[in-house]
C-alpha cells in the first residue's frame, strides 16, 4: 500500500523545464531586440550618408557658383 514518492523528481523536472523555457524565451526576445537595434543603426547610417552626400553636393554647387562669379567679375 505504499505509494512510491515521485514528488521530488517531479519538482526537479518542473523546475528544470520552467528554467529552460524561460531561458529560451529570454534568448529569443533578446535576439529580436538586438536585431531591431542593429536595423535602427543601419537606418541611422543610411541617413547620415544621405545627409553627407547632400552637404557635399551643396558645397560643390557653391564652389561652382563662386568660381563662375569670380570669373565674371574678372572680365
Q: How far is CA 28 from the centre of its chain?
A: 15
Q: How far, in Å, CA of 68 to CA of 74, rounded? A: 10
DSSP structure string for 7-40: HHHHHHHHHHHHHHHHHHHHHHHHHHHHHHHHHH
pTM: 0.56
Enter the C-alpha cell of residue 73: 567679375
What is the mean pLDDT of each successive set of 10 residues along the chain, which is 75 residues long? 77 98 98 98 98 96 82 54
Amino acid at each position: 500500500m505504499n505509494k512510491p514518492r515521485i514528488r521530488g523528481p517531479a519538482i526537479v523536472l518542473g523546475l528544470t523545464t520552467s528554467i529552460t523555457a524561460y531561458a529560451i524565451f529570454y534568448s529569443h526576445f533578446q535576439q529580436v531586440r538586438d536585431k531591431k537595434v542593429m536595423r535602427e543603426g543601419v537606418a541611422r547610417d543610411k541617413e547620415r550618408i544621405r545627409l553627407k552626400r547632400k552637404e557635399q553636393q551643396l558645397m560643390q554647387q557653391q564652389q561652382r557658383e563662386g568660381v563662375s562669379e569670380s570669373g565674371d567679375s574678372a572680365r
